[in-house]
Amino acid sequence: MATQPLAEAFPVGDFLAEELEERGWSEADFAAIMGRSTRFVEELISGERELTRESAELVGAALGTSAELWLNLQDTFLAWRQSHDEKTQASLAAVRERARHRELADLRNAQQSGLTAWARFSRR
């Protein structure tokens, strides 16, 4: 089953940096608002630190948005990145192929069982 390619997505840190710039806030300002270290904010923006549910709640509270907004931005980026990773795609293709083979085997088994049951029924 083919899926449409995802539109290019960007790391959540890019959106966060842009939001801080629009507000005229430095990373230190934002860190102070959230009660976290400047390093914490730097790592979120650079992508060294993955956005967790807890950090998304902090970002959302500080910016007046929902945590889900930030988690969705991150999830969209991760899905896009995964869709462009050849190793991941090869692994997923192998999983799909094994599932297809299993379904075919189950179908053959069901057909054989059905034929056996029909043969027993018809002999009565």
Summarize pLDDT for 77-113 with one digit per residue, the tens. Answer: 988 888 876 786 777 777 888 888 787 777 777 777 7
> For the chain, what is the domain count?
2
17/78 same-domain check: yes
| Residue range of the domain that includes 120 | 86-124
Is the CB of residue 35 less than 8 Å from the CB of residue 64? no
78/20 same-domain check: yes
Write out the chain's pLDDT in tens, 124 residues: 556 666 788 999 999 999 999 999 999 999 999 999 999 999 999 999 999 999 999 999 999 999 999 999 999 998 888 887 678 677 777 788 888 878 777 777 777 776 555 555 555 5
70/20 same-domain check: yes
What pTM did the predictor assign? 0.68
35/65 same-domain check: yes
Q: Count the alpha carbons within 13 Å of 60 in the hemisphere toward its beta carbon.
A: 16
